[in-house]
Amino acid sequence: MKTAELRKKDVAGLQAEVKELQKAHFNLRMQKGTQQLNDTTQLRQTRRAIARAKTLIAEKQAAAAKE
Contact 57, 19 (CB under 8 A): no
Per-residue model confidence (pLDDT) at position 2 = 85
Specify the DSSP class assigned to residue 37.
-
Give the start-to-end residue ranges of the domains of the chain: 3-66
- Residue 67 CA, distance from chain mean position: 26
The tens-digit pLDDT sequence of the chain (67 residues) is 788 999 999 999 999 999 999 999 999 999 999 999 999 999 999 999 999 999 999 999 999 998 8
- As a CATH number, domain 3-66 is 1.10.287
